Amino acid sequence: MTSSNVGTLYIVATPIGNLKDITLRALEVLKSVDCIVAEDTRHSQPLLRNYSISTPMLTLHDHNEREFSQKILARLLQGQSVALISDAGTPLISDPGYFLVREARASGIQVVPLPGACAAIAALSVCGLATDRFSFEGFLPPKSMARNQRLECLKEDGRTLVFYEAPHRILGSLEAMASVLGGNRQAVMAREITKIFETIKSDTLEGLINFVKNDANQQRGEIVLIVGGCQESNEIKPEFENLLRILLENLPLKKAVEIVTKITGQKKNSVYQLALSLSKNSSQPSD
Ligand code: SAM
């Protein structure tokens, strides 16, 4: 139950590099709340100093999140307003805050989003790969067996895949992706977005491996890796189209589709659609 005496929890996005990438509303809220909860107060100091914000700060680490969330909750229930920020970008996106938001909402506290920078969305917006459907995968597991298992699960996913990656793991991850997803997959490496050495490189996974191997600088800084989704072709090769045409002259449509699907391994629906369009222009027996 929400009461007017209860404080508000603001989830505030901060820049991912360029300090100017902060909204006017975020600055207003950070100045006016009773306290700012940050992942690392030392990390956030330059941003706050730059905008003359002297609001008291508290630290929320991943390891103390559950326990610490209760303390913040108590403040909110006493009527204090609190802003949560992370080191960079949008809190809770591969960053702490989940327990705090969950508990606050469960206690009827108003949780208000202040949208802004997010590395995944910034990278998607410039990658030139399909963005109508994407899957945010965050960080892959560091151990190679678990990493390969995760990639196996994504192998046939048609959505664009978005990963965060640490610079010392980028080469290993690209190699694992090439081996599981195929070296010809299109991908984009977005490094140091909004910073001096911003690099947005599009290539196949194999191409990106060479790019990273040939330039040690590419294994530095912060990286978003975007990989094109599985593009299982629905197109039927001309020789199979011919076979379908011949079968349609002699067999019912269903039977012809069944045989061609078995021989080619194509999706039944694709073969069926082609058979329909071919049969419109001929007088083959149909069922
Ligand atoms: N919450 C953040 C967000 O909204 O993007 C992400 C935090 S996560 C702990 C840090 C990871 O985000 C980095 O390892 C990197 O993969 C990605 N990242 C953050 N800033 C970036 C930048 N300027 N350029 C490229 N990737 C960045």
Each residue's pLDDT tens digit, 34-80: 999 999 889 999 999 999 999 999 998 778 888 899 999 999 999 99
List the domain boundaries for the chain: 8-117, 120-227, 238-282
Q: Which fold has domain 8-117?
A: Cobalt-precorrin-4 Transmethylase; domain 1 (3.40.1010)
Q: Which atom of ligand 1 is nearest to the CA of 139?
A: 16
Helix residue spans in 33-163 (DSSP H): 41-50, 65-77, 98-106, 119-127, 144-154
Please give the pLDDT value at position 139. Answer: 98
Atom of ligand 1 nearest to the CA of 195: 23
Closest CA relative to residue 96, chosen from 135, 71, 59: 59
Q: What is the pTM of this model?
A: 0.83
Verify whether ligand 1 is closer than 6 Å to residue 30 (CB atom).
no
Tokens of 228: 């094109």
Task: Reply yes or no on domain 120-227 having CATH 3.40.190.10.
Answer: no
Secondary structure (3-state) at 151: helix
Among residues 250, 261, 251, 257, the alpha carbon closest in space to that of 277 is found at: 257
226, containing H or E segment? strand 223-227
Q: How high is the pLDDT of residue 4?
A: 65
Is residue 166 within 6 Å of ligand 1 at its C-beta? yes
Neighbours of 152 (CB within 10 A): 11
Q: How far is the CA of 5 from the centre of ligand 1 (A)?
A: 36
Q: What's the pLDDT band for 134 if we cut at 50, 70, 90?
A: very high
Q: Is the CB of 118 under 6 A from ligand 1?
A: yes
Kindly give the distance from the C-alpha atom of residue 91 to the centroid of ligand 1, in angstroms, as a whole number.
11
Give tens-digit pLDDT for 194-221. 999 999 999 999 999 999 999 999 999 9
Q: Identify which of 9, 29, 5, 26 has the alpha carbon closest to the alpha carbon of residue 105.
A: 9
Residue 118 CA, closest ligand 1 atom number: 4
Q: What letter represents residue 256's amino acid?
A: A
Question: Whose CA is closest to 9, among 31, 27, 28, 35?
Answer: 35
Dist CA 193 CA 223 (whole Å): 8
CA atoms of 68 and 99, how far apart (whole Å)? 9
Shortest CA distance to 231 belongs to which of 126, 129, 125, 121? 129
223 CA distance to ligand 1 centroid (A)? 7
Lowest mean pLDDT among 146-160, 172-186, 200-214, 220-234: 220-234
Ligand 1 in reach of 16 Cβ (< 6 A):
yes
DSSP code of residue 201: E
